[in-house]
Amino acid sequence: MDQEFSGEVLEWRGPAPYYFVPVPEQEGAALRAAGLAASYGWGMLPIRARIGSTEWKTSLWPKDGGYLLPLKDAVRKPAGIGVGDAVDVRLTFDALPRQQKPQAKRAHIPRGSREPVSAEQLTIVPANQASWADLRSIFGTTGNPARCSCQRFRMLHKESWASEGPEELAARLRDQTACGNPKAPATSGLVAYLDGEPVGWCAVAPRADHARLLRDNRVPWLGRTEDKTDPTVWAVTCFITHAGYRRRGISHALAHASVDFARQRGAHALEGYPDFAEGGSVGTLATFTDAGFTQVSQPGKRRAVLRIDF
């Protein structure tokens, strides 16, 4: 579905980015009707936008019953677009077919049960084979997972949760995972299903893709002589388990699956950085050792680097 219109660039001093083009009411209504099943939280609508010869993927932001098209600096500045300028916009919404959730392998185990879950009971797929709605249900709508969208180690210099906002970070995660697009050339993680329900996420990607990990975090580097830019070393940086399914072994199964996931995509090694005291989103020591990782350094009392070489 395509929509074309002209609009005037406005500045909104809310969450970054600060520059937007309002979508006219008629075009916005048509997009809203077509995208009811595709919005991934907060009323956001994934879209492709074109101004002149520049096309990019983004999401329309809901505001006052309509939509705003965000203009990132990377799009706006090269074209010399500023506040008050009139621009011609083309929006393309590609409705994705409804996906069948992976089928359960064993009898149903209810949410909230304390019964351990084995790897055989789970269906674990690359994130681009899962739907965006399923991934967002794992992250939830409140708390740090929803706020961060697994971008903690990926943010650039001077970026933060507050400066970028949950909508922008969620849009980045969607781009990184290519959820709902099984033919995408790359994806950055794994999604676990139990009885057809999405229950777990694991972020797996080249270590060099994590700007903040390379820049501000001492854990991977203290006492080691590593080439931070080596694209063949991958990292497991985040585990998220759906509320009601935690402490049942889902992260352990995802850690196991991450090994083959990285190896099949050309990694020469895979690292993890567990927290001895809490585990949290980075995982526990046992999460990695049970999957065959070996400790190579311990930069502090509660953090370590674990690695598996292929």
21-59 pLDDT, tens digit each: 998 888 878 777 765 544 444 456 778 889 988 888 887
Which parts of the chain have pLDDT scores under 70? 13-17, 34-44, 94-113
Instruction: Supply the CATH number for residue 250's domain.
Output: 3.40.630.30
Q: How many domains in the chain?
A: 2
pLDDT, position 202: 97
- The verdict on 149 and 239 lying in the same domain is yes
* Residue the block writes with tokens 């797996």: 204
The reported pLDDT for the residue numbered 109 is 53
Question: Which tokens belong to 210?
Answer: 């994590």
Q: Same domain, yes or no, for 49 and 152?
A: no
- Specify whether 87 is located in the same domain as 128: no
- Name the domain boundary from 75, 92, 109: 92
Cα–Cα distance measured from residue 212 to residue 83, given in angstroms and rounded to the nearest whole number: 31
User: Which CATH number does the domain housing residue 48 bear?
Assistant: 2.40.30.100
How much is the pLDDT for 264? 93
Q: Are residues 276 and 165 in the same domain?
A: yes
pLDDT on residue 111: 59
Closest CA to 252 of 143, 127, 122, 137: 122
β-bridge partners, 221: none
Residue with the two structure tokens 């002589």: 225
* Same domain as 155, residue 285: yes
What per-residue confidence (pLDDT) applies to 208? 94
pLDDT of residue 185: 86
The DSSP output letter for 303 is: B
Q: Residue 53 belongs to what domain range? A: 2-92
267 and 146: one domain? yes
Asked if 265 and 146 sit in the same domain, the reply is yes
The residue written with tokens 């972020």 in the block is 203
The answer to whether 23 and 91 are in contact (CB under 8 A) is yes
Q: Are residues 132 and 244 both part of a single domain? A: yes
Question: Are both 79 and 223 inside the same structural domain?
Answer: no
- Shared domain check, 125 and 63: no
Which pLDDT belongs to residue 116?
82
Numbers of helices and strands, H then E, in the chain = 8, 14
Domain-located, residue 108: no
Structural domain ending residue among the three candidates 35, 57, 92: 92
pLDDT in the model for residue 47: 82
Tens-digit pLDDT profile for residues 275-308: 987 778 999 999 999 999 999 999 888 899 999 9
Residue 101 falls within a domain, yes or no? Answer: no
> Is 225 contained in some domain?
yes
Sign of torsion over alpha carbons 92, 98, 101, 103: negative
**CB 12: neighbour CB atoms within 10 A?**
13
